[in-house]
Structure 1
Amino acid sequence: MKHRTGFLVGGAAVAAAALGAGALAYGGGGDGAGDGRDDPPPATATITRADLVQSKTVDGKIDFAQRRAVKSAVAGTVTVAAREGATVTRGQALYERDDKPVTLLYGPVPAFREMKVGARGSDVLQLERNLVALGYGSGLYVDPRFDGATKAAVQQWQKSLNRTPTGRVGQGDVVFQPEQVTVVGADAALADQVGPDTVVLTVASSRPVVRAELDQGDASLTAHGTRVEVTLPSGADRRGRVTGTVRPEGSPEAAPQDGITVEVTLDGGASAVSGEDTRATASVKFVSESRENVLTVPVEAIVALRGPDGGYGLQVIEGATSRMVRVETGMTADGRIEVRGGQIKEGLTVGVATE
């Protein structure tokens, strides 16, 4: 995996590093104003206004959030396999087992038993809410009790699915998920034998994300809300934010990880990746800090001031003479450093050290 990094260290450290590369050291310890020296610098540059951004860029892949496996609750044969890439909503079949649809319903509680008259619980409450949402709730009072009205609604629903209207919902007839899902993997093929230990399909949220891997040392970039800029395989640029980290599939809970897999949600939702090749690589830039419209100079222009006050300065060039001006330094990016001071402004020429 390629890591293209744009991170730079803080202003003071950069200035010190620049000295090692040939930057000037000036002996004045006062305010450094107007010394009138005629010594020409090795090179010059102009103070400019710019936006500075500290970032790290890595490769990423378009994916969907919250991947999870769906297993068959009972043994049987796959007679219609799941369709990879399909978006499945409430009341639609995820796949068919023994020539009967296994239907998606919404709710956080898994379907863990047969539901029939006399049953009580949160699973029954979920079922009744779904029956109402699907249009089979006439005369149904939504509560945790499976009663005669629930049975009648279930029978109507079963008839619409061409199932035998038993009025009971067998274990394995439905799969509860929090919302609509995207089928990201059809794990069981047509005619495969499946059971409680068999993954039939893998689903995820229909919310598209971009997944990228960062080094453990970049943990600060994985914070929820970190700003991200993504260049998609088509070349389109999208903005987004870090919305979480995920454990790589198949990794044991306690296994040490070389990197951190980050999940980025793009602005614009599903439309942001419409038509993109999900097998191709995207470029993901994590922005850790930025400064807008600040005065900047090349880092090699920073001069370490000797004396009791120390600090940093710029050699301002004025015609055939120059003067040293004390400045405060800020963040750095792409070889430039933010500078502040009452005696500097955009457009001034400053000396720059060379190797």
Structure 2
Amino acid sequence: MFTEEKADGDTVAAPDAHPAPRRRRSRTLLVATACAVVTAVAVVGALGLGGGGEAPAAPPREGSTVAVARTVLAERTKVEGTLGYGTATPLPVKATGTVTWLPEAGSTAGRGDTLLRVDDRPVVLLYGTLPMYRELGLTQGAGAEPGAETGADTGAGTGADTGADTGAGTNTAPPAASAPPGKPAADPAAPAAPPAPTTPPSPSRHPLHGMDVLQFESNLAALGYRGFTVDEDFTSATERAVERWQQALGLPETGRVGLGDIVYAPGRIRLGKAGVRLGAAAGDNALTYTGTTRKVVVDASAQDASWAVRGTEVTVGLPDGTPVRGKVASVGGEATAPEGADGPPTVPVTVTVADQRALGRLESGPVTVEYVGRRRENVLAVPVAALVALAEGGHGLETEDGRFVTARTGLFADGMVEVSGPALREGLKVRIPR
């Protein structure tokens, strides 16, 4: 109830307006409107998710974006190796006597160089694979050469022997020979003249034949000596060339090459630490050698050595991080267990480096060898950091506008991963989340 005042000051009662029902109707209208909005959102969501369509884009998260790239992926593996000159090999020194001079360790020697001196005689390096196994020179025969000294033998065997035999058999003086007219007769009592001396037959000399002769003559010619034919025969012409070579070495000019005068090696060598001291007796272990080019040796696991194929290109990492190109030169055929440690058997893999100058002054030390395993060409790839784990399992990628797409993964290499899927294409921008 409320009152109404008239103009003359009287107050009258007015009917009740019942305000409470009107407030309830306002609240009912607001609730109905909110339900309609929720229903509309639900309908829109159903239309967006139904029938296999893509989900609406969520607000993008922070992070950088990259494009899906088409590229080549290669699986690279690093193993440890050792830089050096290879395994040292003993030089087959056959000279006998006292060592009177030795070279410095690490020095190099080539064809015609002196390796060491034994009894102050040089032992010379020549190139070849056949070892020195005999003395080289003209061979000495026992009989006389055909047609030599025939007249001397005939005269000595006819007159002298016959007369001596006859006189010895009669025991009477021979009749006095009559002197020529005008000359006195010979005195029978005078002693007989001694027989004329005979020259003993000289031994014949024959050429020496063999492949070792060809190897030696090839070296002699390479050193600049001429006047003989390079073949398998050691002739008198070869002998004269040897005498000139001996003269240059300060040796007696005998024309013969002794068993200990030469040591053969495949080529130029680097000498290692001597196995004997000055004044000691020479022997097979007097000197060791290696090649003159640096190489890398890897003890590769026999189980994972499928990459070690002759000719395979690798990258050698020096201690300062410098990469150098290398190539597999040889692979050992026998696996050995590591010394003093438990582990799988290994095989030695030798890697050569063509550009020796790229190695700098480093002669030995630890290095790494990187090789390529599996390789995938013309594939889609993204950085590994772009992968996200999906709630339903597997991996996906977040697009630039916040959508998530499924991505099947393949080869992982160099921080990249191979991806594939129906929604992926080259150039698609995906996010790398922070």
TM-based fold match above 0.5: yes
For residue 206 of structure 1, report the CA deviation from its aligned partner: 1.8
Question: Within the alignment, does 1:259 sit opposite 2:346 as a pair?
Answer: yes
Change (3 A) 1:96 1:330: farther
- Say which of 305, 316, 319 aligns to 1:230: 316
Aligned residues of 2:68 and 2:425 also touching (Cα < 8 A): no
Letter in 2 for 1:126: Q
Aligned residues of 1:209 and 1:265 also touching (Cα < 8 A): yes
Change (3 A) 1:211 1:43: farther
Higher relative contact order (CA 8 A, sep 6+): 1
- Of 180-189 and 163-172, more deviation after overlay is shown by 180-189
Q: What does residue range 132-281 of structure 1 map to in structure 2 within 5 Å?
A: 132-136=221-225, 138-195=226-283, 198-246=284-332, 256=337, 258-268=345-355, 270-276=356-362, 278-281=363-366
Q: 1: distance between equivalents of 2:267 and 2:321?
A: 31
Q: 1: distance between equivalents of 2:335 and 2:351?
A: 24
Q: 2: distance between equivalents of 1:184 and 1:339?
A: 54
Aligned to 2:19: none
For residue 220 of structure 1, report the CA deviation from its aligned partner: 1.1
For residue 255 of structure 1, report the CA deviation from its aligned partner: 5.7
For residue 215 of structure 1, report the CA deviation from its aligned partner: 2.0
Q: What does residue range 110-125 of structure 1 map to in structure 2 within 5 Å?
A: 110-117=131-138, 118-125=207-214
Letter in 1 for 2:426: K
Change (3 A) 1:279 1:180: closer
Question: Which of the pair has more CA radius of gyration?
Answer: 2
Question: Within the alignment, does 1:287 sit opposite 2:357 as a pair?
Answer: no
Give the superposed CA RMSD.
3.4
Aligned residues of 2:93 and 2:263 also touching (Cα < 8 A): no
Paired residue secondary structure (1:193): coil
Q: 2: distance between equivalents of 1:173 and 1:234?
A: 45
Aligned to 1:332: 412
Residues 201-239 of structure 1 deviation map (CA, whole Å, 9 limit, x = unaligned): 221222221122222222113211222212224543211
Residues 93-123 of structure 1 deviation map (CA, whole Å, 9 limit, x = unaligned): 1222221111111112111111111321111
Change (3 A) 1:341 1:86: farther
Aligned to 1:13: none
Aligned to 1:7: none
Change (3 A) 1:185 1:339: farther
Name the TM-score, length of structure 1 as normaliser. 0.73
Name the TM-score, length of structure 2 as normaliser. 0.61
- Say which of 88, 104, 108 aligns to 1:83: 104
Q: 2: distance between equivalents of 1:339 and 1:147?
A: 77
For residue 290 of structure 1, report the CA deviation from its aligned partner: 4.6
- Of 182-191 and 216-225, more deviation after overlay is shown by 182-191
Letter in 1 for 2:238: T
Aligned residues of 2:213 and 2:234 also touching (Cα < 8 A): yes
Aligned to 2:182: none
Q: 1: distance between equivalents of 2:390 and 2:222?
A: 71
Paired residue secondary structure (1:222): coil
Change (3 A) 1:233 1:189: farther
For residue 92 of structure 1, report the CA deviation from its aligned partner: 0.6
For residue 58 of structure 1, report the CA deviation from its aligned partner: 3.0
For residue 34 of structure 1, report the CA deviation from its aligned partner: 5.7
Change (3 A) 1:120 1:64: same
Aligned to 1:128: 217
Letter in 1 for 2:384: P
Aligned residues: 305
Residues 143-171 of structure 1 deviation map (CA, whole Å, 9 limit, x = unaligned): 10111011111111111111111111111
Q: 2: distance between equivalents of 1:115 and 1:39?
A: 94
For residue 56 of structure 1, report the CA deviation from its aligned partner: 2.6
Paired residue secondary structure (2:241): helix
Aligned residues of 1:69 and 1:202 also touching (Cα < 8 A): yes
Q: 1: distance between equivalents of 2:101 and 2:426?
A: 71
Q: 1: distance between equivalents of 2:98 and 2:332?
A: 32
Aligned residues of 2:315 and 2:323 also touching (Cα < 8 A): yes
The structure with the greater share of residues assigned to helix is: 2
Aligned to 2:426: 345
Q: 1: distance between equivalents of 2:360 and 2:405?
A: 57
Letter in 1 for 2:346: G
For residue 188 of structure 1, report the CA deviation from its aligned partner: 2.5
